[in-house]
Amino acid sequence: MTVPAVDAMPVDETHDPALRSWVASANGHSDFPIQNLPLGIFSVAEDTPRPGVAIGDAILDLAGCADANILPPPFAEICRAPTLNALMALAPADRRRLRAWLSRMLSDAQVGAGAGLASMLHDAAACTMHLPARIGDYTDFYVGIHHANNVGRQFRPDNPLLPNYKYVPIGYHGRASSIRPSGEPLVRPRGQQRVGDAAAPVFGPTERLDYELELAVWIGEGNRLGEPIAIDDAARHIAGLSLFNDWSARDLQAWEYQPLGPFLAKNFHSSVSPWVVTMEALAPFRVAQPPRPEGDPAPLPYLLDPADQARGALAITLEVSIVTAAMRAAGAAPFRLSRGPATNMYWTIAQMVAHHASNGCNLNPGDLLGTGTISAPTRDGFGSLLEISGGGRTPVQLDNGETRSFVEDGDEIVMRAVASAGDYIPIGFGECRAVVTSAPSAIREGSSASP
């Protein structure tokens, strides 16, 4: 019998609201206080990318800690790797042990100084962030029920949700090779689109480029081919979360999605924030999954676990903003497009994992699952411009007088998120951002701007 997943993620001394760090910028930091300690891959100048931990405005070099022989023995080698895959594959108990060590080292000034940690801190603004993991596979889900309803109404006003939605965590297999870290520009994609009632499509740049506000779910320990993951064990296979923007070309999508679903309209670029907020850090922010509306079917037994229903949702607030080229030139602040809670997900992340592996599909450390667009019931919480603008019929009015129905060249989309609950110190995810361009030369392979 498997151990209930919630037992693998207890609230402990590392979440203590009174905990402070000798890294001064961490105390009161909006994203990376000592209660967070997210993992990422960074480099300084032309150095080799290596694992690090965000602490305030600094990054602790885990490879440097390994080279100085101060890391607990089991972690030294995997902290020298250029990706987080091996760290993600650790059992939750081992991840907690590493987290406890980091918390102690960064909160106790005497211990931290004795270990020489100060010399292993880097100014985050001077570092380059990279993809956290080598992503072998990527699957995008569709668990935001308000998004599904909003989009469905544009095509099927009387029946927005297809019959399977409330039984199956819908998803499709995406393109892992085009996932890029936050800060890397996006080149406007080209493809076939049908204009009006024309008999034949045309080929050219998308005119309906859109963002999708999502969470990225990083797989930790995998499973063998043919061996499903039980719902009460699924949380143990999740290493952490990041922000995710699954860019979409809506006009290409409308032409090509039947009969097999998303293809070129989705696989040209997806942006992910570089810091992985671990499930251990998120333990205080796990809340009850909202009850299903009256009349909705209960999940089938393989997707139903009382513990997951009690603590499988996430007290995370997400928001998305835009900075146009004109706003950037004027030094204007970003314009917030929407804000809403992650509890608007119809399925939990554990249900996503359990369903994905239910047919025996093998998941591997570093695989990425997108939640799908997370929208709220009202326009101020919609997670895409397709919804906010009503398919382009009601453009968004920005503070500087500009309007937007879809994303234009020079626009930068910025996503942020914060987990908060009760008296616990809120923790953030950093930013997931990208500027849209028509110039392929703007792309820098495999790297991003500093966090």
| Residues that are catalytic | 147
For the chain, give the secondary structure using H, E and C: CCCCHHHHCCCCHHHCCCCCCCCHHHCCCCCCCCCCCCEEEEEECCCCCEEEEEECCEEEEHHHHHHCCCCCHHHCCHHHCCCCHHHHCCCHHHHHHHHHHHHHHHHCHHHHHHCCHHHHEEEHHHEEEECCCCCCCEEEECCEHHHHHHHHHHHCCCCCCCCCCCCCCCEEECCHHHEEECCCCEECCEEEECCCCCCCCEEEECCCEECCEEEEEEECCCCCCCCCCCHHHHHHHEEEEEEEECCEEHHHHHHHCCCCCCCCCCCCCEEECCCEEECCCCHHHEECCCCCCCCCCCCCHHHCCHHHHHHCEECEEEEEEEECHHHHHHCCCCEEEEEEEHHHECCCHHHHHHHHHCCCCCCCCCCEEECCCCCCCCHHHCCCHHHHCCCCCCCEECCCCCEECCCCCCCEEEEEEEECCCCCCCEEEEEEEEEEECCHHHCCCCCCCCC
